[in-house]
Amino acid sequence: MTNGRTMHTLPGSSQFPTTRWTLVVAAGDPHRKEARSALASLCEGYWYPLYAYVRRRGYAADQAQDLTQEFFIRVLEGRYLDRADPEKGRFRAFLLTSMKFFLADEADRNRAQKRGGGTVLSLEFSSGEDRYQREPAHDETPEWVFERRWALSVLDRVVEKLRNEFVHHGRPEHFERLKVFLLGQSDAPYAALAREMSTSEGALKVAIHRLRKRYRELFRQEIADTVADPGEVESELRFLAAALTRK
């Protein structure tokens, strides 16, 4: 990966059972609390690609923040979910298409109006704008920006989930030392690292193998959570790879 980001390695493909995308579709039912919670989690995890999309459409930072916040509030209220078809589509495509409809609906307003009920989602817009300002200067379309940011968000979420598992087991320092083996830096010296971690080189290799295996599992599950059909996991993996390598 270029532009100052470390190269992530995409895991291989797999098949999965019914996923949270089905719950997303069901979130329009106010009695499905589990579905609404799953939807909120996905929105909080994938808001930045849409924010970057809106900014690339030419909206100022404050406008983009208001629009993105209002959009996700409406999604959580059940708006646009009638367009979410569990038999086809991906959460990624659903969000982008719905945002386009939303922006068209808001075209006559100078800026979006925040809702009186207060912030529903914890979206860190200040850090999001900092990230956007560090985006490479190019003439790519808003859709291209969205797709690449989406792919990076998937990778970031998976790495963060893996880090949290190490933290939960009281070994955050192990993750910080071993994560280089997830990020395309497999030439790291095993012997030296084993000495630093007070373990044998053989034990270190076993730990790295387990880390990569768990990374692949979490990655595939993250993909499965955003597609309608388990059979679409492989095509979504190909999309991510293409989005990350596209020039």
Q: Answer whether 22's CB lies under 8 Å from 227's CB.
A: no
What is the average pLDDT across 82-105?
78
Give the model's pLDDT for residue 217: 94
Residue 6 domain-assigned?
A: no
CB 234 within 8 A of CB 224: no
- With 0-12 CB in 10 A as exposed, 13-18 as middle and 19+ as buried, what is 139? exposed
User: Residue 10: inside a domain, yes or no?
Assistant: no
Residue of 245, 231, 227, 246 lying closest to 95 (CA atoms): 227
Identify the domain containing residue 169 by its residue range.
Answer: 20-245
Residue 2 domain-assigned (yes or no): no
How many structural domains compose the chain? Answer: 1
Query: Is 5 domain-assigned?
Result: no
In 3D space, the residue among 147, 178, 148 whose CA is nearest the CA of residue 163 turns out to be 178
Q: In this structure, is residue 171 part of a structural domain?
A: yes
Query: Which run of H or E residues covers position 59?
Result: none
Percent of the chain with pLDDT strictly greater than 70: 68
Burial class (CB in 10 A: 0-12, 13-18, 19+), 30: exposed
Predicted confidence (pLDDT) at residue 3 exceeds the cutoff of 50: no
pLDDT digits (tens, 9 = 90+) for 127-172: 777 777 667 667 789 999 999 999 999 999 999 999 999 999 999 9
Length of the chain: 247
Residue 114, in any domain of the structure: yes
Say whether 192 sits in a helix, a strand or coil: helix
Q: What is the pLDDT of residues 8-48, one digit of tens each?
A: 445 543 333 345 555 555 555 555 666 677 777 778 888 99
Does the residue 9 lie in any domain? no
**Residue 94 included in any domain:** yes
Spatial separation of the C-alpha atoms in residues 90 and 227, rounded to whole Å: 4
Instruction: Please give the DSSP secondary-structure letter assigned to residue 199.
Output: S
Q: Over the chain, what is the mean pLDDT?
A: 78
Which tokens is 147 given? 């797709």
The strand pairing partners of 90, in sequence order, are: 227
pLDDT of res. 132: 73
Tell me whether residue 108 is exposed, middle or buried, using C-beta atoms within 10 angstroms of its C-beta: 0 to 12, 13 to 18, 19 or more.
exposed
Quick one: pLDDT at residue 16? 36
User: What burial letters (b/e) apply to 4-15, b meaning 16+ CB within 10 Å?
Assistant: eeeebebbeebe
Tens digits of per-residue pLDDT, 183-224? 665 666 888 889 989 999 999 999 999 999 999 999 999 998
Does this model's pTM top 0.85? My answer is: no
CA-wise closest residue to 71 among 125, 33, 31: 125
What would the two tokens of residue 243 be?
A: 């989005």
Displacement of CA 30 from its chain's centroid (Å)? 25
Quick one: residue 170, left, alpha or beta (phi over 0 = left, psi -120 to 50 = alpha)?
Answer: left
pLDDT of 202 reads 93
Q: What's the pLDDT at 1?
A: 37
